[in-house]
Homo-oligomer: A and B are copies of this chain.
Amino acid sequence: MEGKAVSGTLYVIGTGPGNPDQMTPEAQRAVERAEEFFGYFPYLDRLSLRSDQRKIASDNREELDRASAALGRAAAGMNVAVVSGGDPGVFAMAAAVCEAIDAGPAEWRDVELVVTPGVTAMLAVAARAGAPLGHDFCAMSLSDNLKPWEVITRRLRLVAEAGLVIALYNPISKARPWQLGKAFDILKDVLPGTVPVIFGRAAGRPDERIVVVPLSQADPAMADMATCVMIGSPETRVIARPNLPDLVYSPRSHAGDRR
């Protein structure tokens, strides 16, 4: 083992939905311990770093290169952080880091990996809307960059038939303009048009926007890249409140299979 570097620690940090009050003390402590920070630049911009800490920003969709760069540095003995918004385990960097370890050199398996969980977008949006995830639910990425569109449509149909509430991440982007409309079409086939749909953006931040419409009126133009779109189940209900915003919730109890 002569001459072999002692591995550093690789922190995979979830910063939460963007409001610093929703980032855990554990994640904050990991930020204090790391020397170099790898991440998509808007997430790195959220961190207040010391002058001895270094940011290496990269673009979206470069997750595997970013993970490999961070692992290389950690294997060389640095304490390194890979930064995600929300929770790093939900459509974010933790899986990319594991993929890089799986495919990478043997010494990357000696890097201590510390993943700090965080509040993922759907939980932040749900908290602002009421309790739309109150019963069984699923989280799906609508991006067909990494999986075939047919897998996505098949899954959408099955989870809607199962009666799960559906949280859609990555619903739309300039490169993927039509997928969300097609997803709504599929869901309208299976679900009643009255099912509530929540478009939740920047939950808990000053520019928060939460819009609730029935599925029959859901329009892809209501979403952008940073929106979490939640489609209720046939059980999901809306409570009108005269002086406060409506509440959307999915009751814990289920009356029985209505099919």
Residues of A in contact with B (beta carbons under 8 Å apart): 16-17, 19-26, 29, 63, 87-91, 94-99, 101-102, 109-110, 112-113, 115-120, 123-124, 126-128, 130-141, 146-148, 150-151, 154-155, 158-159, 161-164, 204, 237, 239-244, 247, 249-254, 256-257
Contacts of A26 in B (CB 8 A): 19, 21-22, 204
Q: Which of B25, B94, B109, B243 contacts A127 (CB 8 A)?
A: B94
Q: Judging by beta carbons under 8 Å apart, are A109 and B242 in contact?
A: yes
By beta carbon, the residue of chain B nearest A102 is B239
Q: Which DSSP category, helix, strand, loop or mixed, fits chain A's interface? A: mixed
Name the CB-closest residue of B to A118: B119
Residues of B within 8 A of A244 (CB): 109-110, 112-113
Whether the Cβ atoms of A88 and B127 lie closer than 8 Å is yes
Contacts of A22 on B, CB cut-off 8 Å? 24-26, 117
